[in-house]
Amino acid sequence: MTVCTGNICRSPMAEIVLRDRFEAAGLGGRVVVDSTGISSEEHGNPVDRRARRVLAEHGYDTGEGHHARQVRPSDVVSRDLVLPMTSQHARALRRLHGDGNVRMYRSFDPAAPVVAPERVERDEHLLDIDDPWYGGMQDFEDCLAQVEAAADGIVEHVRQELARRQA
């Protein structure tokens, strides 16, 4: 599950990209990907029109039928992997269910900064994906690029986890 603030920009973009990558990796039938937001302010709203435009321009599904929803404690408990877009989202998710399955989305990007476990409190923000909602189309392009940069690492992590569980 990918998580951002309102569930109309970053997290649905990441959800769509991950679904595409899992499908391409032959794991589409074995992995469920969804998204939520920390806030309820966008509840029921579709994917932001600018996010849909950038997704379409890059050949992705545009998230038609998506309705923003707020994360619930049961969501965090029931997901094997919860992928927040910012350290603020990560802190909110950990308050719901501890550290166990919460891991920063960008931590899977091989080019992203490495945050040592003992420095998470101080440095985790270095892995934030900025909210494009307040900016222009370039901000949405940049967001998608960051989402794509981590997607293959997430797919590989999940592939290894599935193999470990089958062993």
Residues noted as catalytic: 4, 10, 131
CA dist 1 → 43, 63, 91, 134, 136 (Å): 17, 15, 15, 23, 26
- The token pair that represents 63 in the structure block: 């998230």
66 vs 11, 36, 46, CA distance in Å? 11, 11, 5
Tell me the CB-side half-sphere exposure of residue 37, using CA atoms within 13 A.
23
- To which H or E segment does residue 56 belong? helix 49-57
